[in-house]
Structure 1
Amino acid sequence: MTYATVMVSLALDQSNEARLQVAGELAERFEAAIVGVAAAQFAPPLYFADGAEAQALIDEGEASVKRRLAGLEAQFRAATKNRGGHAEWRSGMDFPARFVLAQARCADIVVSGGQSPAFSDAFALASPKDLVMQAGRPLLVVPDQANWLDLRSVLVAWKDTPEARRAVADALPMLRKAKDVTIGTIPERDEDRSGVTAGVTDVAAWLARHGVTATARIFEGARNETAAGQLEKVATDLDAGLIVAGAYGHSRFRELILGGVTQYLITQTARSVLLSH
C-alpha cells in the first residue's frame, strides 16, 4: 500500500501554510499526485433586505467569496510549483464540508488543519470533525505551527476496536518510513492484562510482517487524569511527532459528537495526528 493521491483541504479563515507544507512533503515522499480543495458559501447578513438591494448584496458577497477562493488557488499553486508531480486544484461555491467530502473519493489521504474548540464557520471551513467521521479516508490533522511531518517517533494509540485497526492499516506507508514506532495502550482499570498484552503484541507482529519494526508497550495511566491527559503524557515522553489513532463518536446516530480523546487530538497543537473512522 502507498499514497498515490494526497488531498489537502484549505480554509478561507485559517492559516494554510503548515498543511500545504506537510501535504507537499507527503506527495514528494510517495511520488503522489496532490489535489488542493476548497469551497465556501456566501453567508447573507441577518438584517432584512429585499428586491434589488438584496440581489446586489448577494452578488457582491458571492464575488468576494470567488476572489478569496482564487487567492487560495494561487497559494496552492505557489506551494506546489517546485515540487514536481501532478498538482490539481478543485474549488466550488458550496458548503465546505459537503464539497470536500465529495472530492475525497479521489484521494488516499486527506490533509487538514486543526481546529480550536471555538465555534467554526460552516460557510467557510471544512471542519476536521466532519471530515474524519464522514470522508471514508484517513485524515492527517496538521497543527498550524508544524513545518514538516516528523516521523522520527510515531505513537500508535492502540485500542482494540475497528477504528484503531483501520488507522494502523491506513498509516502503513508512513510507518514504513518512521524511525521509531511504538504501539502503546493504556488499559482500563477492569481490563484483563493478558488480553491487553496479546493485543499490542499481535499488532507489532502484524506490522513486522509488513516491514515495520515496532515496540509494543503498555502504559499505566494515573487515576486522576483524563484519557486525553494520559495520552498526551505518553506522546510527550516518547517525543512523538505523529500520533496514529482511531476516531470515535459518542453516538451511533450523531457521530459528529466526538469522544473526548478524538476531540483532543483534533484540537491539540503539539504534533500531527492521523485519524481513521
Structure 2
Amino acid sequence: MTFATVMVSLALNQPNEARLQVAGDLAARFDAGIIGVAAAEFTPPLYFTTGEQAQELVEQGEGALQNRLAELEQQFRSVVGERAASLSWRSGLDFPARYVLAQARAADILVTGSAPPGMSDAFAIASPKDLVMEAGRPLLVVPDNVSWLDLGTVLVAWKETPEARRAVTDALPLLAKASDVVVVEILENSSDYDACEARLDDVVAWLGHHKITASARVEEPGTGRNVAAKLDAVAADLTAGLVVAGAYGHSRFRELVLGGVTEHLVTRTERCVLLSH
C-alpha cells in the first residue's frame, strides 16, 4: 500500500504554500515522486479589438501567463525541495481543470487547495469542484491553514455507497500510516442504528484484514440534520487531521452540482480531506 507518484495542482491567483507542503510531506512519507502541474488560459478583455493590435494583445497576455507559470515552477521546486524521490513539472496555456484532468493519469493521488465558496476563475484555477468528479484519482484537498499532513487521527466518513467504498480503498496507504482510524456513520434515521453498527463492523473488520486497526462510531443525526456540520463537529471532537469521504454529485445542464457534504468539504473544510468518486 503506497503512493509512487504524487501530483500537486497549483493556482495562479491563490496561495499554494499549504498544498505544496502537504505534497512534499506525502512524497517524503512514501518515498514518492512529485509532479507539479499548472495551467492558465488568456482571457481577452471585454473591449477586445481585432487585427494586429489584437494579436499583439494576445501575445502580451500569453507571455504574462507564461511568466507566471515559470514563477509557479520555481516555487514548486523551492518548497518541495529534496523531499521527493523525483521532481517534474508540467504546465500549459489551457483551461486549468481540463489540463490537470488530462495530466492526472500520471499520478496515484492528486493534491489541490480548497475552493472558496462562490464562483472561481476557470481561466486561472483548477477548482477541486471541477476535479473531484472526473479525476479518476483520489483528490486530497488542502485548506490554506494547513502546513503538514496530520495522520494522528483519520476520520473515515462512511455511507453505504460505492463512492465511500472507493474512498476508503484509495485511502489505504494513508490509513496504514495513521495512529488512529475511526469509521463514522451519521444516521439518517435513528431506527437504523443496529444496521449501521453492522455495516461499520464490516468496514472495521475489512480494514483489519489490511492490518489497519480501526474503531467504529455511530452518530445520531442531531438537530436540523445538517450532516456537514455534524461531520465537522465529530472531526473536531476527534481532533482528526484528515477526513476520508466519498464524493457525490452530478452534472445538470453542463454545470457540476455537488452534494451538500461534498460541497462543504471542498469549500469550507478546516482540515485535509481525501475524496474519491
Distance change (3 Å), C-alpha of 1:192 and 1:254? farther
- Give distance in 2, aligned partners of 1:67 and 1:172: 39
Deviations 1:75-133 (A, max 9, x none): 11112232241111000111100110000001000000001012111110001011110
For 1:83 and 1:63, how far apart are their aligned partners in 2?
Answer: 31
- Give the partner amino acid of 1:171: A
Post-superposition offset of 1:192: 2.6
The 10-residue stretch of structure 1 (248-257 or 134-143) with the greater mean CA deviation from structure 2: 248-257
Please tell me the residue identity of whatever aligns with 1:88: S
> Residue 144 of structure 1 contacts residue 269 of structure 1 at CA under 8 Å; is this kept in 2?
no
Alignment of 1:159-174 (within 5 A): 159-174=159-174
CA distance, structure 2, for counterparts of residue 82 and residue 129 of structure 1: 31
Are residue 126 (structure 1) and residue 117 (structure 2) matched? no
Give the C-alpha shift of residue 193 in structure 1. Answer: 2.2
Q: Distance in 2 between matches of 1:92 and 1:102?
A: 12
Q: How does 1:26-41 map to 2 (within 5 A)?
A: 26-41=26-41
Deviation (angstroms), 1:226: 1.1
Q: How many pairs does the alignment contain?
A: 277
Residue 226 of structure 2 corresponds to 226
Helix, strand or coil for the counterpart of 2:155? Answer: strand
In the TM superposition, structure 1's runs of 4+ consecutive aligned residues that sit over 4 Å from their partners are 250-255
Letter in 1 for 2:195: G
Distance 2:190 2:24 in 1: 44
Higher mean C-alpha displacement, 187-196 vs 120-129: 187-196
Contact 1:249 1:255 in 2 (8 A): no
Q: Equivalent residue of 1:99, what SS? A: helix
Mapping for residues 1-277 of structure 1, pairs under 5 Å: 1-189=1-189, 192-250=192-250, 256-277=256-277
Q: Distance in 1 between matches of 2:82 and 2:2?
A: 22
Task: Supply the AA of the counterpart residue of 1:122.
Answer: A
Amino acid aligned to 1:23? A
| SS of equivalent to 1:176 | helix
Q: Distance in 2 between matches of 1:230 and 1:122?
A: 31
Q: CA RMSD in A?
A: 1.4
**Structure 1: tracts of 5 or more residues without a match:** none
Give the whole-Å Cα distance in 2 for the aligned partners of 1:186 and 1:68.
44
Q: Distance in 2 between matches of 1:255 and 1:184?
A: 31
* Paired amino acid for 2:88: E
Deviation at 1:48, TM superposition (A): 3.5
Per the TM alignment, residue 63 of structure 1 is displaced from its structure 2 partner at its CA by 0.3
Q: Helix, strand or coil: the match of 1:144?
A: coil
Q: Which amino acid aligns with 2:158?
A: W
Cα deviation digits, residues 233-267 of structure 1 (max 9, x gap): 11111111100000001558768200000000001
Q: Secondary structure at the match of 1:204?
A: helix
Amino acid at match of 2:91: S
5+ residue gaps, structure 2 = none
Q: Distance in 1 between matches of 2:8 and 2:224?
A: 38
Task: State the AA in 1 paired with 2:77.
Answer: R
Letter aligned with residue 272 of structure 1: C
* Structure-1 separation of matches of 2:81 and 2:35: 13
Moved more, 82-91 or 20-29: 82-91
Alpha-carbon deviations, 1:15-44, whole Å to 9, x = none?
A: 000000000110110011100000001111
Q: Report the 3-state secondary structure (helix = DSSP H, G, I; strand = E; otherwise coil) of the residue aligned with 1:147.
A: coil
SS in 2 for 1:192: helix
Deviation at 1:190, TM superposition (A): 6.3
Q: TM-score, normalised by structure 2?
A: 0.97
Q: Quick one: distance in 2 between partners of 1:252 and 1:215?
A: 38
C-alpha distance in structure 1 between counterparts of 2:252 and 2:47, whole Å:
38
Instruction: Sort the Cα spacing of 1:255 and 1:5 in 2 relative to 1 into closer, same or farther, 3 A.
Output: farther
